[in-house]
Amino acid sequence: MENLQLEGSAKTPSIHFDAAAGKLELKGRSIPENSVEFYKPLNEWIDAYGKSPQAETAVDVKLEYFNTSSSKCILDLFKKLESISGSKTSVTVNWFFEEDDEDMEEAGQDYQAIIGLPFNIIEVEEI
C-alpha cells in the first residue's frame, strides 16, 4: 500500500508512515485548532495498514508541542494502533522528549498509563 507523507507546517507535524518498513513517524508541532480534520487520514491509513501489516510496527513520536485538541487525537491514534496490534503485528511506541522538557516527559507518562502497548519514553538532546 502507499506510504503517507505529509510535510510539517507551522501548526501541524510532518508525517512519514512507511507501510513496507512498518515505521510510523510524527514529528514537529501539533497545534491546529481542530485536529480531528488533520488526524482523520492518519487513522484511515492505520486501518488500511492493519489489514496486512509488517510483523513489527514501530511508532516514533517526536513532538515539540501539542495542544489539547491534538492530545485527544493522539490518544485515539494510539487506541487505533492498539486495535491493530495482535497476531498480525506487534506495535511499539517510542515517545521522544527533549532534555529538561518535563511537560513532554509527563505527557508520555500520561499515555503510557492509558495505553496497553509497549511504550518507551526516550530523552534526547534535541528533537
Partner 1 sequence: MIKNDIYELYQTMERENILLSFKGVVTSELLTSVLSIMESKMDYMEESPKTKKKVFNVLVECLQNLYHHIDVEESERNIERIEVKSALFMISKKDDNFVIQTGNYIDVESAEDLESKLIQINGMDKDELKKFYQDVLNNGKMSEKGTAGLGMIDIARKSGNKLEYLFLPVNESSRFFCLTIKID
Residue closer to partner 1, measured from CB, 54 or 69? 69
**Spatial distance between the Cα atoms of 91 and 22, rounded to a whole number of angstroms:** 9
Which one, of 124, 109, 56, lies nearest residue 84 by Cα? 56
Backbone angles phi, psi at 60, to 5 degrees: -105, 120
Number of residues that bind partner 1 (CB under 8 A): 29
For position 123 contacting partner 1 by CB under 8 A, the verdict is no
For position 87 contacting partner 1 by CB under 8 A, the verdict is no
For position 75 contacting partner 1 by CB under 8 A, the verdict is yes
C-alpha dihedral (88, 75, 19, 87), degrees to nearest 10: 0
Which contiguous run of DSSP H or E holds residue 60? strand 56-66
Q: Taking the complex as a whole, how short is the minimal distance between the CB of residue 48 and partner 1, in angstroms?
A: 22
Q: Which of 34, 51, 55, 87 binds partner 1 (CB under 8 A)?
A: 34
Q: Which of 2, 7, 33, 125 binds partner 1 (CB under 8 A)?
A: 33
Backbone angles phi, psi at 122, to 5 degrees: -120, 125
- Which residues form the interface with partner 1 (CB under 8 A)? 10-11, 31-37, 64-65, 67-69, 71-73, 75-76, 98, 100-104, 106, 110, 113-114
